[in-house]
A and B are shown apart, each in its own frame.
Chain A
């Protein structure tokens, strides 16, 4: 499994963190990534309305021919997005670990303002360590 990128989207649909970890996907400008993150937020809301059976829940993953994306939403409404290669195992555990790092390094940081872009070297280095152990 290769992790191509990790995004964090706040509950209003704004991108607060994005890093790429492989060069399989071409690099995007920050503006393009912001737009894509906003689109994903909207799609998440629409997909839960298209439910053919009763129950709730929006988009959880999507797939192209060679890579896919996984979206995990916390109870507080932030979304973690991981873009990964198609052969994937243990992605759920990985998302949990990313959330753990997020809550440790970002939410417990007294200088972090909620809903604002994440500029934390601790978060970045711990995330890099995690992704490198997977890739």
Chain B
């Protein structure tokens, strides 16, 4: 019984927040071209700290070395691709459930042998996605609690957070620690 990760998407289908707890599969930070500030706190790859002289002929090869080592050490999907895959899966399953029901029926969760994904949609188009252990009951109430609690207090009522910005996420220290506290107080978190 445990909680793995939390994704929040806005109505533009962009991931605006990410946090993980007991996740063991590796994840890579996104490439710099796709980096959006204020979404996640995945440590960035080791960069070249000492600036070498431009007259050093070995400079280029050293750079390549660092890149190769960096690529070998960092496994897993880059964050931007992973968040898009998660969104794609919930979108297609949502459409499928809707199509098969013939009416506006909400898709709530899916399960694999390793994890269970819970989805909670707000009326404003925010989608809260939680990955947990497969044996737990529905955790949509937790997502609703996060929405009505920390999300409203530290994101919606926070004048420093730009909602709907499309440039950056909603991450801030208060929100992150409040979500963390909320999750750690759950009985299924261990």
Q: Which among B105, B114, B115 is the interface contact of A66 at CB below 8 angstroms?
A: B105
Q: Is the CB of B89 within 8 A of A60?
A: no
Bound CA span A127–B96, Å: 25
Does chain B have a CB within 8 A of A123? no
Does chain B have a CB within 8 A of A17? no
Q: In the assembled complex, how far is the CB of residue A25 from the closest CB belonging to chain B, in whole angstroms?
A: 6
Total interface residues on B, CB under 8 Å, equals 35
Bound CA span A47–B134, Å: 13
Q: Which of A8-60 contact B (CB under 8 A)?
A: 25-26, 28, 32, 36, 39-40, 42-43, 46-60
Counting chain B CB atoms within 10 Å of each CB, which of A25, A43, A64, A66 scores highest? A64
Q: In the assembled complex, how far is the CB of residue B58 from the closest CB belonging to chain A, in whole angstroms?
A: 39
Q: Is the CB of A52 within 8 A of B92?
A: no
Q: Which among A28, A46, A57 is the interface contact of B113 at CB below 8 angstroms?
A: A57
Q: Is the CB of A54 within 8 A of B24?
A: yes
Does chain B have a CB within 8 A of A62? yes
Bound CA span A42–B93, Å: 11
Secondary structure dominating the interface of B: mixed
Asked, given contacts A49-B85, A54-B25, A57-B112, whether A62 binds B97 with beta carbons under 8 Å apart, the answer is yes
Counting chain B CB atoms within 10 Å of each CB, which of A40, A56, A59 scores highest? A59
Q: In the assembled complex, how far is the CB of residue A19 from the closest CB belonging to chain B, in whole angstroms?
A: 14
Q: In the assembled complex, how far is the CB of residue B49 from the closest CB belonging to chain A, in whole angstroms?
A: 32
16 contacts between A and B (CB under 8 A): A36-B96, A39-B92, A43-B92, A46-B89, A51-B115, A52-B20, A53-B4, A53-B22, A56-B114, A59-B112, A63-B108, A64-B101, A65-B105, A65-B106, A65-B108, A67-B101
A residues near B, CB below 8 A?
Answer: 25-26, 28, 32, 36, 39-40, 42-43, 46-67, 83
Interface contacts beyond A62-B109, A64-B107: sample of 19 additional A-B pairs, CB < 8 Å, sorted by A:
A28-B99, A36-B100, A50-B86, A50-B89, A50-B115, A51-B114, A52-B115, A53-B4, A53-B22, A57-B113, A60-B112, A61-B111, A62-B107, A63-B109, A64-B101, A64-B108, A65-B106, A65-B108, A66-B101
